[in-house]
C-alpha cells in the first residue's frame, strides 16, 4: 500500500487523513500548528515533524491548505527536496493557474500532479462522501482513484490539471449565492412573522430546496451554532477566486459582485472566523 504524507490537518484535512488511516494506509501528518499533529497521532496517524520527513517517506503527498499562497509556499519548499517518483494531490480550493504552474514544476522533478478540490464540507469529509473533482493526467488519476474511493462518493476526472479547480470555483460561486439567498430569505421570514422551522419544512419540498439550505439551517442557524465548518473568510476567498476566473474571461457575474461586497463587509464586521452560515446573523444584525 502507498505511504501517504498529508499536509494541512484542518477542518477538512484531519477527517480525510483519518479516513485514510482507517482504510489501512500509513499516513504521516504535517500541520503548521503542532497540536493538530498530536490529535492526528491520537487518531492513529504518524506525526511528521518536518516537511522533509514527508518528502523522504511518502509515495503520495496530499495537501489541504487554506489559501493559494499556502499551497504555493509548501509545494515550493517540497520541490527543493528529493521527491521524484511521487504523486502530489492538492485538495485545497485555489486557482487553476497555480495548479498549471505547480504541475509544470512537479513534472520537472519527475513527479505527477493532480488538483482535486472537494465539496461536501466537514460532514462529507467525516463520512468519506466528498465530491472530488480532479484535474490531471489519466494515469495519475487512476493511481489516485483507490484513495479517492476512501475519501469520496462522487469522483470525477474533469480534464487536465487545473480543470478540477475551475469546476470547484463555479461550485463555490453558487455556494456563495445560495448562502446569501438563504440568509436574506430567513431574514424576510423573521420580519414577516413566519416560523423558520415551518418554512424550512415547506421549502424542503419545493423548488427552493438546496443542499446549502439543508447544510445551513438545521445544524447551524436553527442550532445557533457559528463555529466552522467552513469559515466565512474561506468562502470570501473562493468568491474572490471565482471573480478573478470570471474577470479573465470577461464574464461579468453581476449578481455575484454585490454578494461578494456583502461578504467583504461581513468579514469586516467580525464574521470571518465564523461558519459561512453566520451570513444570516450578519444580515439580520445589519438590516434589522
Interface residue with ligand NAD among 4, 5, 6, 9 (CB under 6 A) is 9
Rounded to whole angstroms, the Cα distance separating 53 from 169 reads 32
If the CB atoms of residues 165 and 283 are measured against ligand NAD, the closer one turns out to be 165
Question: What are the Cα distances from residue 104, in Å, to 94, 107, 136, 198, 199?
Answer: 16, 5, 11, 53, 50
Rounded to whole angstroms, the Cα distance separating 31 from 74 reads 11
64 in contact with ligand NAD (CB under 6 A): yes
Q: Which neighbouring-strand residues pair with 18? A: none
74 in contact with ligand NAD (CB under 6 A): yes
Interface residue with ligand NAD among 21, 27, 36, 216 (CB under 6 A) is 36
Judging by beta carbons within 10 Å of its beta carbon (0-12, 13-18, 19+), is residue 160 exposed, middle or buried? middle
| 166 noted as active-site residue | no
If the CB atoms of residues 187 and 215 are measured against ligand NAD, the closer one turns out to be 215
11 in contact with ligand NAD (CB under 6 A): yes
13 in contact with ligand NAD (CB under 6 A): yes
User: Residue 69 has which C-alpha cell?
Assistant: 499562497
Q: Rounded to 5 degrees, what are φ and ψ at 133? A: -115, 110
Helix (H) or strand (E) holding 118: strand 118-119
- Rule CB under 6 A: which of 83-102 touch ligand NAD? 92-93
Q: Which of 168, 237, 260, 267 is labelled catalytic?
A: 168
Interface residue with ligand NAD among 66, 136, 152, 256 (CB under 6 A) is 66
Q: Shortest Cβ distance from residue 175 to ligand NAD (Å)?
A: 9
122 in contact with ligand NAD (CB under 6 A): yes
19 in contact with ligand NAD (CB under 6 A): no
10 in contact with ligand NAD (CB under 6 A): yes
CA 276 to chain centre: 13
Q: Which neighbouring-strand residues pair with 119? A: 131
Which parts of this chain interact with ligand NAD (CB under 6 A)?
7-13, 30-33, 36, 64-66, 70, 73-74, 92-93, 118-119, 121-122, 229-230, 234
Amino acid at each position: 500500500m502507498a505511504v501517504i504524507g498529508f499536509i494541512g490537518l484542518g477542518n477538512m484535512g484531519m477527517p480525510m487523513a483519518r479516513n485514510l488511516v482507517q482504510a489501512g494506509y500509513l499516513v504521516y501528518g504535517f500541520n503548521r500548528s503542532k497540536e493538530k499533529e498530536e490529535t492526528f497521532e491520537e487518531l492513529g496517524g504518524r506525526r511528521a515533524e518536518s516537511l522533509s520527513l514527508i518528502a523522504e517517506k511518502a509515495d503520495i503527498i496530499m495537501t489541504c491548505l487554506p489559501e493559494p499562497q499556502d499551497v504555493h509556499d509548501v509545494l515550493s519548499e517540497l520541490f527543493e527536496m528529493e521527491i521524484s517518483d511521487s504523486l502530489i494531490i492538492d485538495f485545497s480550493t485555489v486557482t487553476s493557474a497555480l495548479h498549471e504552474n505547480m504541475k509544470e514544476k512537479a513534472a520537472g522533478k519527475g513527479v505527477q500532479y493532480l488538483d482535486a478540490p472537494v465539496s461536501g464540507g466537514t460532514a462529507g469529509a467525516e463520512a468519506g462522501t466528498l465530491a472530488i473533482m480532479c484535474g490531471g493526467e489519466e494515469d495519475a488519476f487512476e493511481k489516485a482513484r483507490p484513495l479517492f474511493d476512501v475519501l469520496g462518493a462522487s469522483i470525477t476526472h474533469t480534464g487536465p490539471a487545473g480543470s478540477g479547480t475551475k469546476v470547484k470555483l463555479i461550485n463555490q460561486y453558487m455556494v456563495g449565492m445560495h448562502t446569501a439567498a438563504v440568509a436574506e430569505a430567513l431574514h424576510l421570514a423573521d420580519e414577516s412573522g413566519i416560523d423558520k422551522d415551518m418554512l424550512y419544512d415547506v421549502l424542503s419540498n419545493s423548488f427552493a430546496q438546496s443542499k446549502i439550505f439543508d447544510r445551513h439551517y438545521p445544524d447551524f442557524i436553527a442550532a445557533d451554532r457559528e463555529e466552522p465548518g467552513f469559515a466565512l473568510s474561506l468562502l470570501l476567498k473562493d468568491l474572490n477566486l471565482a471573480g478573478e476566473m470570471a474577470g479573465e474571461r470577461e464574464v461579468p457575474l453581476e449578481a455575484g459582485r454585490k454578494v461578494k461586497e456583502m461578504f467583504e463587509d461581513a468579514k469586516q464586521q467580525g464574521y470571518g472566523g465564523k461558519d459561512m452560515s453566520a451570513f444570516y446573523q450578519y444580515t439580520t444584525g445589519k438590516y434589522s
